[in-house]
Structure 1
Amino acid sequence: MTSEHDIPADVLERFSFYAREVSALTIMFHSRVAEEMGLSPTDEKCLDLALRSDGPITAGRIAELSGLSTGAVTGVIDRLEKAGYVRRVRDPHDRRKVLVEVTLPEERFAHLFIGAQQTLHEVLSQFTPDERDVLERYHRSLIEVFRRRVVKG
């Protein structure tokens, strides 16, 4: 039995190609950003996770969000701390807990992302508000399913 939501093989193949292309370009972009920051791509993305959190974040939460082991995240935090991007601080509500706090303002790296923002603006300007709503729904769903399957295993 088929439904209106069945995906023809050629459509799945095209979207797989697009996803692989975007993924490759994103990895290359973040590799360049990481290099300019003196970091590995993994360290740069973990720093990004810390930057996007609402204040200091635990190493365990970075591990959950990244899919890395807690041991790997400890190494990431060590390197970020050594490079001066983060510091470890005690949780004011539970002194036994250690939090990771970003020490440099996000604005310091904004220049590295200007081209990406311009690209996003150029592409989104080609779509109507209703089309952007569909694109947003697609991306939210993709992120949710991808995080569930890749990060959470």
Structure 2
Amino acid sequence: MPVAQEMELGYLLVLAGRAVQGASEQAAAGMAISATDLNALYEVSVHGPVLAGTFAQLLGLQQSSITAVADRLEGAGLVQRRRDEHDRRRVWLSITEHGRCTLAQAALTVDAHVAEVFAGLSPGARTALRALLAELVGPWLQQRLPPGAEPGGPGASLPVTSTAG
């Protein structure tokens, strides 16, 4: 069995993502929401209001699949949909106050789990890792977000993974 230092960088990132994803799964298990929907809600909080097509790209879902996710989130009162004023074919999603409260509740579990995942890193190493990942992910986000949108958007300060860095 190879040691982690010998593994490919991409594979290490996948494993790290799975470890962090476990935080969402634990939080969702104690709430009336799936891990998929909790992650989707977080995406809306970070990047919203967001176009449904952009939302699908951020989640890695097909455009046709995003309707069911949006239906569940809207049905639970976690997001609201509205038609674009200038192009009625476009739909915007934004988080509701109930959605913010749900994320705040989930953050209690998520933050504790993520802190465990990164416990072996010094504060300096966490800061360096965050900077490297932001450098890596920034261009990917810019390709998916509408022109003029900033990665992180208006909800980026929500505390869902705040203790990780």
Equivalent residue pairs, number: 135
Determine the C-alpha separation between the residues in 2 that align with 1:37 and 1:116: 12
Query: Which moves more between the two structures, 94-103 or 68-77?
Result: 94-103
Q: Say if 2:100 is the partner of 1:106.
A: yes
Query: Looking at CA atoms only, which structure, 1 or 2, has the larger radius of gyration?
Result: 1
2:65 alignment counterpart: 72
Percent of aligned pairs with the same residue? 24
Secondary structure, aligned partner of 1:33: helix
Structure 2: where are the runs of 5+ without partners? 145-165
Write out aligned runs for 1:27-66 (5 A): 27-53=21-47, 55-66=48-59
Query: Which moves more between the two structures, 17-26 or 73-82?
Result: 17-26
Cα distance, 1:71 vs. partner?
Answer: 0.8
Among residues 86, 89, 107, which one is paired with 1:94 in the alignment?
86
> Structure 1-normalised TM-score?
0.66
Structure 1: where are the runs of 5+ without partners? 1-8
Check the 8 A contact 2:23/2:109 in 1, yes or no.
Answer: no
The structure whose RCO (Cα within 8 Å, separation 6+) is larger is 2
Cα deviation, 1:56-89, whole Å, max 9, x if unaligned, reads 2211110121121111101100111112211221
> Structure 2-normalised TM-score?
0.62
Secondary structure, aligned partner of 1:84: coil
Residues 86 and 37 (structure 1), Cα distance of their counterparts in 2 relative to 1, 3 Å cut: farther
Secondary structure, aligned partner of 2:123: coil
Root-mean-square deviation (CA), in Å? Answer: 3.4
